[in-house]
Each structure stands twice: as structure tokens, then as C-alpha cells.
């Protein structure tokens, strides 16, 4: 289970369409809901640790997505992820335990990969195509991972690479994989102002199906009523605070 979680965490980060960072959240023209089909090839994905049992990682994953101007939501299995750019936070909901965690985005401490992402992405317009009846503009984005990671993350990776022990070689190989540039081909639906198909050089592809255009309920982008908030220290882009000392 832990291996699957690590894989999908890295895969999700790499799957975030670079177009969102390149053009900004205001590119969305119409709100909509859809079914997102994610197909992965664990043998090519840089998020796969050497020696990981890839049989534990499904090749196809289906999620329900809801898109609004500054809000988005992904439902997959028993989990929901809600991104609120307007509030600078992310909700992670666990429907089994009926709990949710809040992960604030600290704009002052976000890594360089989010501050200057546009400088780390090469953009090239490839033309126009139709995808499932939608007129799309086809783009190619090259994400320069060395620039994306920034000095702080690069230093952390060097520290990991220098770890002693029998797993050092595997960690070095994994870090080398993570540094490879990612090339993504993205099809942006002109009417929606949103990417509906993405194919990346790491063997991952996504496509939106059953797209329904319409205003999305604000309730979709809040934790469900009656769910309990679960504490999680730290913020996205910041160092978690030390644990509080228990009173004697």
C-alpha cells in the first residue's frame, strides 16, 4: 500500500498539466465535470523506485473530476483531493474514516518549481486536432527537472545520494531518474480552455471522457459535512514544525 501511495504521489505531481502553470488558472473558460482515465507504464515512470514491485501499481486508474475557475476536485476510490487556489490550500478527504486534512500552501516558502515554473518549461505549439469531437490546440511542453527542483531540493537529493549502505546504489539510480526532463504533449479544448488529453514521455497518459459543461456546486469544493478534521503538521512548501511537548 505504501509503494502505491508513493507511486501515485510522484505520478500526480508529474501529471499536473504544465499548461496550468504556463498560462495560469484564468485560462479556464467553462466549468465542467468529467471522468479522467489515467494510464501508466511503471517501467518508464521516474517515480518508480528501483526494485519496486510494479505489479502492485494498476496500469489504469479512473477518477471523477470537477473543474471551476480557481477550484478543482478529484474523486478516486475512497479518497478525494480538493485544490483551492483561491484559499491557497488543499483538502485531502478520506471517506472510509470520514476525516479530512488541510494542507495550506505557503506562498512565501513554496519551492522554486512553483514560483518560477514558467521559466523551467519550454513551450511549442504543434497545431490543431480534434479529440472526441472537441476542437483542440496541441502543445508540447518540456519540463526541465533540474530547474524545477531548485537548489534546496537538489541539495536534499545530493544528501540522499550520499547515503551509505546497500541501498545507496538504488537511491542514486532513482535520483537520476527523477532528474530526467519530462516532455508532455497536451491537447487543450478551445471551448473549455482546459487540457483534455495529455501524453508524457514517462509513459503516462490522461484523457477526459463524459465531459459535462455546467456550473459546479460550491459544496463540491468543501469537505463533506459531518467529517472530522485530522491534524497534519506543516504546509505545502514549508518545513513541518517540531512536535509540541506534553505538559507534565
Residue with cell 490546440: 137
Domains in the chain: boundaries: 2-229
Q: What is the pLDDT of residues 85-108, one digit of tens each?
A: 888 888 999 999 999 999 887 655
**Would you say residue 135 has pLDDT above 80?**
yes
Per-residue pLDDT, averaged over 19-37, amounts to 74
Under the banding of pLDDT at 50, 70 and 90, the label for residue 190 is: very high
Cα dihedral value 66, 123, 134, 31, nearest 10: 30
Out of 2.50.20.10, 1.10.3210.10, 3.40.50.620, 3.40.190.10, which CATH number does the structure's domain 2-229 have?
A: 2.50.20.10
Lowest mean pLDDT among 45-49, 87-91, 152-156, 173-177: 45-49
Per-residue pLDDT, averaged over 191-200, amounts to 91
Residue 84: its pLDDT value, please?
87
Q: What is the pLDDT of residues 63-82, one digit of tens each?
A: 999 999 888 999 999 999 99
d(CA 55, CA 191): 39
Instruction: Kindly report the three-state secondary structure assignment for every residue of 136-187.
Output: EEEEEEEECHHHHHHHHHHHHHHHHHCCCCCCHHHHHHHHHHHCCCEEEEEE
d(CA 197, CA 203): 14
Residues ≥6 apart with Cβ < 8 Å to 135: 128, 189, 190, 191
Residue 172: its pLDDT value, please?
62
- By C-alpha distance, which of 91, 60, 97 is closest to 78? 97
Amino acid at each position: 500500500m505504501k509503494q502505491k501511495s508513493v507511486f501515485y504521489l510522484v505520478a500526480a505531481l508529474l501529471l499536473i498539466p504544465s499548461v496550468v502553470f504556463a498560462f495560469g488558472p484564468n485560462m479556464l473558460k467553462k466549468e465542467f465535470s468529467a471522468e479522467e482515465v489515467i494510464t501508466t507504464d511503471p517501467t518508464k515512470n521516474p517515480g518508480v523506485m528501483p526494485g519496486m514491485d510494479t505489479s502492485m501499481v494498476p496500469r489504469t486508474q479512473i477518477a471523477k473530476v470537477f473543474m471551476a475557475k480557481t477550484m478543482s476536485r478529484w474523486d478516486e476510490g475512497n479518497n478525494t483531493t480538493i485544490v483551492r487556489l483561491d484559499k491557497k490550500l488543499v483538502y485531502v478527504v478520506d471517506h472510509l474514516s470520514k476525516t479530512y486534512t488541510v494542507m495550506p500552501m505557503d506562498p512565501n516558502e513554496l519551492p522554486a518549481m512553483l514560483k518560477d515554473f514558467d521559466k523551467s518549461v519550454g513551450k511549442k505549439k504543434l497545431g490543431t486536432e480534434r479529440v472526441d469531437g472537441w476542437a483542440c490546440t496541441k502543445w508540447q511542453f518540456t519540463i526541465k527537472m533540474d530547474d524545477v527542483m531548485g537548489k534546496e531540493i537538489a541539495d536534499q537529493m545530493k544528501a540522499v545520494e550520499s547515503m551509505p549502505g546497500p541501498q545507496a546504489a538504488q537511491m542514486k539510480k532513482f535520483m537520476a531518474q527523477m532528474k530526467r526532463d519530462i516532455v508532455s504533449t497536451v491537447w487543450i479544448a478551445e471551448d473549455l480552455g482546459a487540457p483534455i488529453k495529455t501524453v508524457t514521455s514517462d509513459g503516462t497518459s490522461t484523457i477526459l471522457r463524459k465531459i459535462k459543461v455546467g456550473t459546479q456546486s460550491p459544496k463540491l469544493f468543501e469537505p463533506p459535512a459531518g467529517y472530522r478534521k485530522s491534524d497534519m503538521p506543516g504546509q505545502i512548501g514549508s518545513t513541518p514544525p517540531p512536535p509540541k511537548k506534553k505538559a507534565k
